[in-house]
C-alpha cells in the first residue's frame, strides 16, 4: 500500500539584499560591488517576484487610504512574496524589509494591507492617518498582545474600524496596533513594537541594476541548465519539444532550450480557461520567432 502520510516540506527560502547598492540578490554575492548581501528569510513557499506597475498602484492606493501617505514608494523596487492564505496573500518587501502583508479579503471583496513592524518604523514619522501617539509608560514589561489603556494614549484617530492596522508612535519606538472589539467597544491591541528605525536609502533602485547585480548568479544558473539539457538531449532518441504555457517560467525554459535547438517545436496546451491575451501572446511569440506551434 502506498504511504498516504508522506508529506512534502519545502526547503528554506531566502533572498539577499545588497545594502551598498540597495538591490535584491538571488545569491549572497553582489555582481556589481562584490559585497556580501544581507540574508532575508522568506515565508514559505517562497515565490518572490518584482511588483508590477498594477501592483504598485494598488499598494499606493491602500497606503494612502490607510495611512494617508504613499510617496515613499516612488522610484523604489518593491518585491512581493506569495504566502499561504484563503485567497491572494503577499509579503510586501521594501529595501529588504517586510513592511506589510497584502491580501484579498473575500468577505468584503477587496484588498487589504496589514502593517508589519518594519512598516510601522517606516510610517512612524510619515503617517497622516491611523496614527496613535502613546505614552512611553507602556514600554514597561511585556507589551506584545496587550491592550492599550485610555490613559496611555496621547492621541488617536477619531474612529476605529475593526481589523485596521494602526501605526503606534511610542517615543523612540514604533509599533503596530490592531483594532479589535473588547467588550462593547473597539480597542487597540499591540501586535509588536520595535526600536529599530527604517531610514530609506538615497540610492534609487532600477531594474537594470537589479539584473546587473544578479548577473553572475543568473549566468551560473543558465550554464547549469544548459549542461543538463545537453546531457539529456545526448541520451534521448525521442522527438523533442518544449511545453510553453505563456508564463514566465516556461518562457525561461523556452529561451534556454532555444540556445541548444533554435528551431525547437513548441507545445501549448490550451485548457480553454486561458485569458485571450495569453493565447494571443503564445501565438505571436511563436510566429515572431518562427517556431512551429502545436496547440492542443
Ligand atoms: Zn552591491
Q: What distance in angstroms lies between residue 21's CA and the mean position of ligand 1's atoms?
A: 4
Residues 55 and 132 occupy one common structural domain: yes
pLDDT digits (tens, 9 = 90+) for 136-179: 888 888 888 899 888 888 999 988 888 899 999 999 999 999 99
pLDDT digits (tens, 9 = 90+) for 98-109: 999 999 999 999
Residues 48 and 169 occupy one common structural domain: yes
What's the pLDDT score for residue 91?
Answer: 95
CATH number at residue 93: 3.10.400
pLDDT digits (tens, 9 = 90+) for 228-274: 999 999 998 898 999 999 998 999 999 999 999 999 999 999 999 99
What's the pLDDT score for residue 11?
Answer: 59
Q: What distance in angstroms lies between residue 102's CA and the mean position of ligand 1's atoms?
A: 28
Q: What distance in angstroms lies between residue 37's CA and the mean position of ligand 1's atoms?
A: 8
Total domain count, the chain? 2
Residues 71 and 154 occupy one common structural domain: yes
Q: What distance in angstroms lies between residue 75's CA and the mean position of ligand 1's atoms?
A: 18
Residue 51 domain flag: yes
| Residue 151 CB contacts under 8 Å (≥ 6 apart), including other chains | 135
Q: What distance in angstroms lies between residue 3's CA and the mean position of ligand 1's atoms?
A: 47
Express as a percent the part of the chain with pLDDT over 70. Answer: 96
Residue 36 domain flag: no
Q: What distance in angstroms lies between residue 43's CA and the mean position of ligand 1's atoms?
A: 24
Q: What distance in angstroms lies between residue 183's CA and the mean position of ligand 1's atoms?
A: 52
Using the predicted structure, report yes or no on whether residue 1 has a pLDDT greater than 50. no
Amino acid at each position: 500500500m502506498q504511504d498516504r502520510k508522506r508529506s512534502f516540506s519545502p526547503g528554506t527560502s531566502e533572498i539577499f539584499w545588497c545594502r551598498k547598492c540597495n538591490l535584491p540578490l538571488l545569491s549572497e554575492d553582489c555582481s556589481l560591488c562584490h559585497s556580501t548581501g544581507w540574508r532575508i528569510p522568506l515565508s514559505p513557499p517562497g515565490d518572490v517576484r518584482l511588483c508590477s506597475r498594477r501592483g504598485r498602484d494598488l499598494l499606493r492606493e491602500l497606503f494612502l487610504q490607510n495611512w494617508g501617505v504613499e510617496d515613499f514608494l516612488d522610484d523604489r523596487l518593491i518585491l512581493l512574496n506569495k504566502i499561504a492564505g484563503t485567497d491572494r496573500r503577499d509579503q510586501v518587501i521594501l529595501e529588504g524589509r517586510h513592511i506589510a502583508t497584502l491580501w484579498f479579503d473575500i468577505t468584503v471583496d477587496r484588498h487589504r494591507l496589514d502593517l508589519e513592524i518594519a512598516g510601522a518604523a517606516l510610517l512612524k514619522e510619515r503617517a497622516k492617518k491611523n496614527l496613535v501617539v502613546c505614552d512611553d509608560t507602556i514600554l514597561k514589561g511585556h507589551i506584545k498582545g496587550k491592550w492599550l489603556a485610555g490613559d496611555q494614549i496621547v492621541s488617536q484617530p477619531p474612529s476605529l474600524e475593526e481589523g485596521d492596522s494602526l501605526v503606534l508612535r511610542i517615543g523612540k519606538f514604533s509599533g503596530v496596533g490592531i483594532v479589535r472589539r473588547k467588550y462593547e467597544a473597539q480597542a487597540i491591541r499591540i501586535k509588536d513594537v520595535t526600536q529599530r528605525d527604517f531610514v530609506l536609502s538615497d540610492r534609487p533602485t532600477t531594474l537594470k541594476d537589479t539584473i546587473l547585480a544578479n548577473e553572475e548568479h543568473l549566468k551560473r544558473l543558465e550554464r547549469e541548465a544548459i549542461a543538463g539539457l545537453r546531457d539529456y538531449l545526448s541520451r534521448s532518441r525521442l522527438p523533442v519539444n518544449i511545453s510553453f504555457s505563456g508564463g514566465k517560467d516556461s518562457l525561461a525554459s523556452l529561451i534556454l532550450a532555444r540556445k541548444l535547438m533554435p528551431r525547437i517545436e513548441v507545445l501549448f496546451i490550451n485548457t480553454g480557461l486561458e485569458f485571450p491575451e495569453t493565447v494571443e501572446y503564445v501565438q505571436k511569440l511563436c510566429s515572431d520567432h518562427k517556431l512551429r506551434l502545436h496547440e492542443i
